[in-house]
Structure 1
Amino acid sequence: MTLTGRHLDRSGPAAPGASGDGPWPSRESTADGRPAGESSIAQDPILRLHAARYTSLRADATPLGLSSVHPAFGPDTLAVPPRALLTPSGPGGRPAIREAVGGRDDKDLDDLDYFVEFMARPVVAVFRTLLDRHGTLVETDGAGAWRYEFSGQGQPTGRVLLAAPAPRGTPTVAAVTAAVTALHDVLRALAQAVGEGAGADARVDAVVAEELRFLRPRTVALLTGQHPWRTYAHAVPVEQDAVLRGVLDRVRARAQARRDRPALPPPTVVIDVDCCALVPTERAVRALRELRLPAARGAGGRPVSVDPGAFAVLPSDSRPAWDRFVRRNGLDLAWPGVDWAGAYAEFLRGFYRPWDRLRTDRVSPGLNRFVRDVERIGGVVVLNTGRRDRVRAHTRDVLDRYGIGHLPLLTQPDDRTAPVADLKVANLKRGGPWDVVAVFDDNLANRRAMAAAYPEALVVAVEPPNFTSDRPEGAPPADRAPLIATFERLPDPLPPSRQPAGPQLSYAQSVAGLHLPELRPRLAARSYQVRLSAAQSTRLVARLLDQARGHARNTAEGARRWLRQETGAAETTDAAVARLVHHILTRKQFHRGSRSRYPLSAAMSDTLPFIRRGQPIRLVLVAFPLKQSSSGLKAEGALPDLAELAALVRLVELRHTIAQVYPPGIRLRILTDPTHYRNRPPDSFDAYQRKLREYRRLVGADDFVSFTDVDEAAYAGLGLTPATRRTLLERYRQEYRTTLAGLDITDQPVRTLARASAVDPGADGQAPPFRDIFTSLLHSVAVPGPPGPRLTWSQRVYADIYQLDGEDPAEVLAARRQVLRVVWADTIDYLAAARADHALGYDRMFPDRVRLTVNQPRQGRCGFAPLGGSVLLPWHGTAAVTRRGEISVDFVVSLRDQGFVPVYSPLLGGEQAWFFVPVTNTLAHGDRGAEIEPALLDAIRLRRR
């Protein structure tokens, strides 16, 4: 007979509203008097892109009373029931969906991909957003059932039409189950009509899995019914997110201290292996399936076998966890006569033997990213396990498969006699040197031993999902350790359906800081693009310049007041003027980094010679190399956009501010370096430089800003020749190639980078560290791949660029290897150039100048922030205007995901967006397409801090 466990899970389901969930918004009405459904569509970026409400339908299926007309197709669209698309239409009796997809204008995608992005994803995204953020359901039957919107020419618009008013009442598990089942059935049927076979079903399932990630826990609770989407419902508790971010904060602080004191050991995060770093689901299932229990009373003497698929939870390898497994699944009640202690011993044999079963373990969700983040901010991850030396190879195989085979692995002797916890502490003490800042372990005894050995470390309990542990149900860990289930964190920024208000900037400092697999391209948003007129564009630039002049007057007056307070008088001496200039250069709208890097004494030395002669103060700045658009993740186009123009406006503001206190003003020489560090063809940067000079004329900066190639300036200023530099460059390149010979970046990339750093010939301070430059260049190279949308392909390649084995398609792995090889070669070129600069004295080019820098300033240099407090430099990303009107920069891959849409201008042309704006701040008109809300257009400005 088969023992089923009967789903007697005594813990009970999670209650909606737990773990950081806030209340759903009211579904009655909003402050503006509109039905809540209409208001949510207007304010929610995903609903704004993919949904509209209608009040009635004409006989010809034209929707009336649309909450918003489609910006590309106007009000004359059609509302088509999804089932109607399965009826025969056209020659050959093909389903209507085939005619619609096959007759589309957009041919960048194949038929199935087009269906997924313009028809399947919008439905699932609207379902998720309405349920997760607004607490309402998509109507799936009756007169108010949802419909697809089609243009008059039969083209899908990418939107779902919903009947008004919005449904009321809190959703129930039963209602959600019915809605999901209906949606799933129709999407599967439509997909099969477009592309027959298992591939079509798999694509729908993939969309569901992608769109149902990072839900609120209350939403996951509503998705627990018996329906096809149940397994895809995913949430990360805010408490887990806080614990993991806290660990990263600890690592970051210790890494900063180590930069100031390099002799300190690296900050180290220690992670156990079994039921922690690796999850043994397949081993547990196999061991249970092979279990043959002693005959139970009342079983007629027949042996009892188990069906693991019927269990609510699985057991881990500890005895308390086994006992809880038995109770949680009701096995003790169903079969009271079974020797469960004996069954535990038999389970353990199958759990660990044969040892090859260890190779079936899977990495804990989120671990790869957590490891990369610890390493990226200067920390080290060490795996400290109770496994014995004899299974090191088995463990390494799994780690290698998941791209973390470079991590130090501490195992225990085959003939161990001491307790596992003591040996784990001893192993860690012998290793290193390591500065242990956090320890993750699923075993209570291990955690207590680690806490005693490292009292300053944060010790964290781990319980993988669907496994029992040594913790009693409902109780906190006995050692009061914070508890996590996986290593997943909430993404930055949060998915739009979880945002409190409108699309958000990511504020990531690098693409590596984004959760790339979680970002959606929103291809259907292409039709929401805005096109400014020439008059609108020039008015925007004029307003920015007017604001700059007004701010210049205010800042200068504030500087004079400051000087009067400091000195008691309005001094007019040369030294007083120099103090004013220094005060202005270090104001928050202009300055970046610590002001201590550019003290008053340095400003006096740099500016007094010019002030005494009554000449314009000379400044020099290395900036504006080229737009980083190669991968398609940072910027979509290669030309300077509104971010670069705004940076020039900020320079105009600086010029006017200083001229208020020192009328001769300033002269700024901008050194561009598009080919200085990396060999690039001229056509990759010539257009960028030409457009930059157009912007300079447009903002009136021609008379004080000049652009010069950095090498041309060096040749003239230092008396060098190009041949001298070429010879030195080749010498240093060859030195790197010789030193790094035998290292293959496609063989354990992280470990190879560590080895390269250990033998770095420029580590004497003549150049930045090898690893730092490699990681900074990683996302700025072209990504080889098939035709189609570049953004989505680059996301797949960069999802985990160091993962070169495992389950990803061969073409993705090949592209990753090629990217790594290119970056390796570019890193050598960059470091060779940096060492050549040092040897040739590039730092001595301009001894009598204020040396501005857009990077974190070194001593004696004045940090300059082109866009106030924006983290990214203009050329490292894409211009974006926030819903408050501030000009900033972000990565286009995040902007697209968050519901920002492109704005085009005649100042840049029709091929590249001038900037991006939240879709929720646009208006759609049937005859004019999309427009920016006038209030926002008039509010666009530079940040002040």
Structure 2
Amino acid sequence: MDVSSLSLASLSSANTEDFRLSETGASPVWSPRIKPVQNNPPKNKSEILKPLNSKVGDLDITSRIMTIIQGYGQNEENSSGDAWLGRFKFEARVRKAVDHNTPILLVLPAFPWKSVNKVEKVLGALPDLGEVLALGRLNNLCEDIEQIYEPGARVTITSDGLVYNDLLGIPDEEVYEYGAALRRIPAEKEYVNIDFIRIMNLLGLTDQISMTKEEYLQTVGGVRETLVERFLDPTFIATDAIEEDRDINLTYCGYLKFLAKDLKYSPVTAGVIGKNEYRRAVKRVAQDMIIRGKAFAAAIDWALPDHVRLSIHRSTGLNKLSFPLVPQINHFSMTPWHCCIAVTAKGEFRTAHKTALVDTHDLVEHEGRPSYFRDRSSPAEILD
């Protein structure tokens, strides 16, 4: 069960500046947003002329920023005992931003589309309360950094929807509609530190930022081919990588788990007969996703070399920071596009598949669409 201590009444009346999830990822908390406290004014002219960030100050503020970022993560245990194996790698990127007094940049490849299994797992094809909570937590990270570092931070979301959707039988139109609805959430909730970049922009195939559905669909052609041709290492063999690379193995196991449910309702397996053939289809799609994901990761590193890399997958933390979007107390959180949100009588958030909730919880709508489940003993407020 999730461990949020936010009450439904609080959430109903809260504005986005007051809705925060803790930086540790363990206990979402309700507290007013505290503005950064200004340092004591300089006592003499030499202090006024001193650079904004001295060398000692740079190292100190960089370390504090890294600790905030790390506090939001949840990496796998490792033999070295380090909580984040990749901290030193990404610390250099944060220090570079501090040296130039510019925002700390982070990137998260995620938010592809809602699961193809809309019978058992999710409420529909469009974002719901899960995405609102997820984007809110990303924005909270940036706000926490801003409390100690005035330029603040920004998270860029680059959707991986077009990287994988054809492998699961999800139409390009559905990817666009989910993404368009997702982009409206930060504006509506005033999550001012969230940016988006589409894969076609990431690859340099277009410089058009705002796209209609028609323009988007016209640009889709060749995206996946370009991605693999330009960024996949020709020596990369997925089966070997799955055996030899722990991070890739963790991602692959995660793919197997969700694909076992997803592909039951996908046109990709429409002609599959028998359990063994179905298992082979699941493994084949998972391996293809590993290949595309390897190329996508390389494209992100190429296009956004100064960004701290976040991930929604379990990992050792060597090349990214695993970032649970809706933290849970006993396990790494399911992503909002693979589950529903249940709000308990205590105002806690729990992630679960639709079939685990539909008989024991009430469905709550928001603006005419299903948004989340609520314990039948919960108060009747709606989360706005």
- TM-score, length-normalised on structure 1? 0.30
Q: Specify the code of the residue in structure 2 equivalent to 1:575.
A: L
SS of 1:651 mapped into structure 2 = helix
SS of 1:596 mapped into structure 2 = coil
Q: Give the aligned partner of residue 779 of structure 1.
A: 261
Task: Give me the identity figure in percent.
Answer: 21
Contact kept, 8 Å, 2:202 with 2:300, in 1: the verdict is no
Gaps of 5+ in 2: 22-29, 38-54, 77-81, 207-221
Q: Give the aligned partner of residue 366 of structure 2.
A: 905
Deviation at 1:556, TM superposition (A): 7.4
Q: Specify the code of the residue in structure 2 equivalent to 1:823.
A: V
Contact kept, 8 Å, 2:17 with 2:33, in 1: the verdict is no
Q: Specify the code of the residue in structure 2 equivalent to 1:547.
A: F
Report Cα offsets for 1:732-751 as digits up to 9, x if no partner. Answer: 8xx99xxxxxxxxxxxxxxx
Q: Does 1:682 align with 2:155?
A: no
Matches within 5 A, 1:330-345: none
Report Cα offsets for 1:470-502 as digits up to 9, x if no partner. Answer: xxxxxxxxxxxxxxxxxxxxxxxxxxxxxxxxx
Q: Does 1:921 align with 2:378?
A: yes
Report Cα offsets for 1:282-301 as digits up to 9, x if no partner. Answer: xxxxxxxxxxxxxxxxxxxx
Of the candidates 149, 162, 171, which is equivalent to residue 662 of structure 1? 149
Taking a change above 3 Å as real, the CA distance of residues 537 and 596 of structure 1, as seen in their structure-2 partners, is: closer
For 1:693 and 1:777, locate their aligned partners in 2 and report how far apart those are by CA, in whole Å: 26
Contact kept, 8 Å, 1:648 with 1:699, in 2: the verdict is no
Of the candidates 870, 873, 876, which is equivalent to residue 338 of structure 2? 876
Taking a change above 3 Å as real, the CA distance of residues 836 and 872 of structure 1, as seen in their structure-2 partners, is: closer
Q: Specify the code of the residue in structure 2 equivalent to 1:783.
A: Y
Q: Give the aligned partner of residue 889 of structure 1.
A: 351
Taking a change above 3 Å as real, the CA distance of residues 682 and 815 of structure 1, as seen in their structure-2 partners, is: farther
Q: Give the aligned partner of residue 61 of structure 2.
A: 577
Deviation at 1:551, TM superposition (A): 4.2
Q: Give the aligned partner of residue 79 of structure 2.
A: none
Matches within 5 A, 1:2-401: none
Matches within 5 A, 1:591-740: 591-593=73-75, 596-598=83-85, 601-630=88-117, 632-679=119-166, 680-701=170-191, 703-710=192-199, 712-715=201-204, 722=223, 723-725=225-227, 727=229
Q: Specify the code of the residue in structure 2 equivalent to 1:651.
A: L
Which of structures 1 and 2 has the bigger CA Rg? 1
Deviation at 1:643, TM superposition (A): 1.1
SS of 1:778 mapped into structure 2 = helix
For 1:611 and 1:902, locate their aligned partners in 2 and report how far apart those are by CA, in whole Å: 46
Report Cα offsets for 1:391-443 as digits up to 9, x if no partner. Answer: xxxxxxxxxxxxxxxxxxxxxxxxxxxxxxxxxxxxxxxxxxxxxxxxxxxxx
Q: Does 1:540 align with 2:12?
A: yes
For 2:233 and 2:57, locate their aligned partners in 1 and report how far apart those are by CA, in whole Å: 51
Contact kept, 8 Å, 1:903 with 1:916, in 2: the verdict is yes
SS of 1:903 mapped into structure 2 = strand
SS of 2:179 mapped into structure 1 = helix
For 2:115 and 2:70, locate their aligned partners in 1 and report how far apart those are by CA, in whole Å: 28
SS of 2:163 mapped into structure 1 = coil
Taking a change above 3 Å as real, the CA distance of residues 872 and 664 of structure 1, as seen in their structure-2 partners, is: same
Q: Specify the code of the residue in structure 2 equivalent to 1:655.
A: C
Contact kept, 8 Å, 2:118 with 2:124, in 1: the verdict is no
SS of 1:615 mapped into structure 2 = coil
Report Cα offsets for 1:276-325 as digits up to 9, x if no partner. Answer: xxxxxxxxxxxxxxxxxxxxxxxxxxxxxxxxxxxxxxxxxxxxxxxxxx
Q: Give the aligned partner of residue 216 of structure 2.
A: none
For 2:116 and 2:32, locate their aligned partners in 1 and report how far apart those are by CA, in whole Å: 33
For 2:188 and 2:197, locate their aligned partners in 1 and report how far apart those are by CA, in whole Å: 19
Q: Give the aligned partner of residue 826 of structure 1.
A: 285
For 2:147 and 2:114, locate their aligned partners in 1 and report how far apart those are by CA, in whole Å: 33
Q: Specify the code of the residue in structure 2 equivalent to 1:542.
A: A
Q: Name the count of aligned residue pairs.
A: 321
Deviation at 1:777, TM superposition (A): 1.7
Q: Specify the code of the residue in structure 1 equivalent to 2:320.
A: R
Q: Specify the code of the residue in structure 2 equivalent to 1:573.
A: G
Taking a change above 3 Å as real, the CA distance of residues 862 and 820 of structure 1, as seen in their structure-2 partners, is: closer
Taking a change above 3 Å as real, the CA distance of residues 556 and 692 of structure 1, as seen in their structure-2 partners, is: same
Taking a change above 3 Å as real, the CA distance of residues 586 and 869 of structure 1, as seen in their structure-2 partners, is: farther
Deviation at 1:819, TM superposition (A): 4.9
Q: Give the aligned partner of residue 861 of structure 1.
A: 320
Of the candidates 310, 333, 341, which is equivalent to residue 852 of structure 1? 310
Higher relative contact order (CA 8 A, sep 6+): 2
For 1:727 and 1:662, locate their aligned partners in 2 and report how far apart those are by CA, in whole Å: 40
Report Cα offsets for 1:614-659 as digits up to 9, x if no partner. Answer: 1111111112111214252221312111011011111222222111
For 2:163 and 2:13, locate their aligned partners in 1 and report how far apart those are by CA, in whole Å: 32
Taking a change above 3 Å as real, the CA distance of residues 832 and 659 of structure 1, as seen in their structure-2 partners, is: closer
Taking a change above 3 Å as real, the CA distance of residues 641 and 667 of structure 1, as seen in their structure-2 partners, is: same
Q: Give the aligned partner of residue 186 of structure 1.
A: none
Q: Specify the code of the residue in structure 2 equivalent to 1:640.
A: P
Deviation at 1:605, TM superposition (A): 0.9
Deviation at 1:822, TM superposition (A): 4.7
Q: Give the aligned partner of residue 151 of structure 1.
A: none
Taking a change above 3 Å as real, the CA distance of residues 724 and 654 of structure 1, as seen in their structure-2 partners, is: closer
Taking a change above 3 Å as real, the CA distance of residues 599 and 821 of structure 1, as seen in their structure-2 partners, is: closer
For 1:553 and 1:630, locate their aligned partners in 2 and report how far apart those are by CA, in whole Å: 38
Q: Specify the code of the residue in structure 1 equivalent to 2:328.
A: G
Taking a change above 3 Å as real, the CA distance of residues 682 and 600 of structure 1, as seen in their structure-2 partners, is: closer
For 1:918 and 1:659, locate their aligned partners in 2 and report how far apart those are by CA, in whole Å: 36
Deviation at 1:894, TM superposition (A): 0.9
What's the C-alpha RMSD, in Å, of the aligned pairs?
4.2
Deviation at 1:891, TM superposition (A): 1.0
SS of 2:19 mapped into structure 1 = helix
For 2:229 and 2:16, locate their aligned partners in 1 and report how far apart those are by CA, in whole Å: 46
SS of 2:291 mapped into structure 1 = helix
Q: Specify the code of the residue in structure 2 equivalent to 1:636.
A: L
Taking a change above 3 Å as real, the CA distance of residues 894 and 661 of structure 1, as seen in their structure-2 partners, is: same
Deviation at 1:771, TM superposition (A): 7.0
For 1:685 and 1:538, locate their aligned partners in 2 and report how far apart those are by CA, in whole Å: 33
Report Cα offsets for 1:50-75 as digits up to 9, x if no partner. Answer: xxxxxxxxxxxxxxxxxxxxxxxxxx
Deviation at 1:547, TM superposition (A): 3.1
Gaps of 5+ in 1: 1-504, 508-535, 558-570, 737-756, 786-810, 923-931
Taking a change above 3 Å as real, the CA distance of residues 859 and 716 of structure 1, as seen in their structure-2 partners, is: farther
Q: Specify the code of the residue in structure 2 equivalent to 1:605.
A: A
SS of 2:290 mapped into structure 1 = helix
Report Cα offsets for 1:539-598 as digits up to 9, x if no partner. Answer: 7373454233974746979xxxxxxxxxxxxx98122211221222233xx222256225
Q: Specify the code of the residue in structure 2 equivalent to 1:582.
A: M
Contact kept, 8 Å, 1:552 with 1:653, in 2: the verdict is no
Deviation at 1:836, TM superposition (A): 4.1
Taking a change above 3 Å as real, the CA distance of residues 714 and 685 of structure 1, as seen in their structure-2 partners, is: same
Deviation at 1:828, TM superposition (A): 4.4
Matches within 5 A, 1:754-769: 760=239, 762-763=241-242, 765=244, 768=248
Taking a change above 3 Å as real, the CA distance of residues 761 and 598 of structure 1, as seen in their structure-2 partners, is: closer
For 2:108 and 2:69, locate their aligned partners in 1 and report how far apart those are by CA, in whole Å: 13
Contact kept, 8 Å, 2:104 with 2:153, in 1: the verdict is yes
Matches within 5 A, 1:424-443: none
- TM-score, length-normalised on structure 2? 0.69
